[in-house]
Amino acid sequence: MHIKDVFPPSGHVQRLYCDDCKGHLYLAFADFDEDVSGIPIKISGLPVLRCEKCGRDHLPDRSRFAIIEHHRRAVEEGQTNVAVRRKKLENDFGFGKVKFLYDPDDYFYIPSLYREFHIGFLTPVFFKREVLLKYDASPNYTVKFASPTYGTIEGETFSISFGVNKNGKVVMWLGDIADLPESEQYYLRSENVDSDHMIGSEFYEGQIDCIFTPPSKESQLFAARSEFLAEGAALFGAKIAHLDQEVYDIALSFNAPVVDTPKERRHVADSLNKVYIESFDNKALATIARRLGGNPDSLGSLKRLQVILEATKSGGEIAKLLSPFFVLYDLRVAYSHLTSVAKAEEILASVANRLRITRNAGLIDTYNALCDQLLQSLQELTALIKSAPRLPR
């Protein structure tokens, strides 16, 4: 290797994306062992940016500078080789009274986080995913999602953005955390874990690179669900669904179907049902329905939801808007073989009619039509809830 090869190519700015496959990079620590213009240089534990897809290592600017500096000193001092072990950084950036677990190397070596002002502000701090479930379960907080991997926690006096990485860890910025009330910092600290050095996500792209790519159909739908539930909680004074562990696991891992097989049909129908129907809190819906003068006895979650929504708006309109949810329920019954073949065929004919697709439409067309209608329904229901008069508590 020639020393000139250590310098970044002219005009090249190292970002969090692989030069080869454009996959996200994460911070790793490797042993550098190369002959650099005639001087063997060994550096143990050198920070590198590793591609999670193809495995290629990229050198962060600071690691390049370290190699160049070791080579310069060796030439000046007449050394024939260099062998060093890098000492990990142990900076305490001094943000807040509560001491969080974080790795200063993330701030200095992950691209675009370092700033010459507010040193350490954009240090990523990692948490167990359960921290979101705790916030979601509390009536004093709202967890809103712009996508399954990018969202906001809102309290009575604060709001903080977060991301979810490939390993399911929740990520927030150290400086943002330090601006929270001290009680909230202690709350977060209880779920704080060591860094896994991976922050490639929609959170990073939106917050750091200002990349706002068109969200997928799945992200739009999950975000619409989040907004609907938040507005519903504000109107009814109680949360009508919860982000339990299974629901969030499904939302994070779910992808649009690419093949049409019986197994994929069951998977799609079951997954969507768990996220968009089974996650409703039947007990909470019943309590709200009774408070509004309705009778929820012997009703399922969708009918209970219809009862409480009809208490604020016209019944016919609500029934029409909830239709895609009943279609989804019916689709699960048909796809999961929970009934006879003849009955399943009858249900699928009804599903096709309500989705306005051909009777012989495959899974892909059915899925797209269903998601479109669910999205439109959630958006219109949210608008109705926002315009509804506040209810007595």
Question: What CATH number does the domain containing 44 carry?
Answer: 3.10.20.860
Tokens of 63: 């690691």
Could you give the CA distance from residue 363 to residue 366 in angstroms, rounded to a whole number? Answer: 5
Tokens of 263: 């197994």
Answer yes or no: is 95 within a domain: no
Burial (0-12, 13-18, 19+ Cβ within 10 Å), 16:
buried
Q: Are residues 237 and 192 in the same domain?
A: no
Q: Are residues 182 and 128 in the same domain?
A: yes
Burial (0-12, 13-18, 19+ Cβ within 10 Å), 271:
middle
pLDDT confidence of residue 316? 65
| Residues of the chain under the 50 pLDDT cut | none
pLDDT confidence of residue 315? 58
Answer yes or no: is 93 within a domain: no
Ramachandran class of 293: left when φ > 0, alpha when ψ lies in -120 to 50, beta otherwise: left
3-state secondary structure 227-258: HHHHHHHHHHCCCCECCCHHHHHHHHHCCCCC
pLDDT confidence of residue 131? 92
Tokens of 226: 């989040």
pTM recorded for the entire structure: 0.79
Q: Are residues 191 and 299 in the same domain?
A: no
pLDDT confidence of residue 217? 87
Pinpoint the alpha helices (H) of the chain.
3-6, 61-77, 104-109, 130-137, 174-178, 182-189, 202-207, 217-236, 245-253, 262-276, 282-291, 301-310, 315-335, 341-355, 363-387
Domain extent, residue 351, equals 217-387
As for how many domains the chain has, the answer is 3
Q: Rounded to whole angstroms, what are the CA distances from 58 to 15, 61, 102, 203, 211?
A: 10, 10, 22, 22, 22
Q: Are residues 10 and 75 in the same domain?
A: yes
Answer yes or no: is 212 within a domain: no
Encode pLDDT of 341-380 as tens digits.
Answer: 889 899 999 999 999 999 889 999 999 999 999 999 999 9
pLDDT confidence of residue 393? 60
Q: Which SS3 state, helix, strand or coil, does residue 12 take?
A: coil
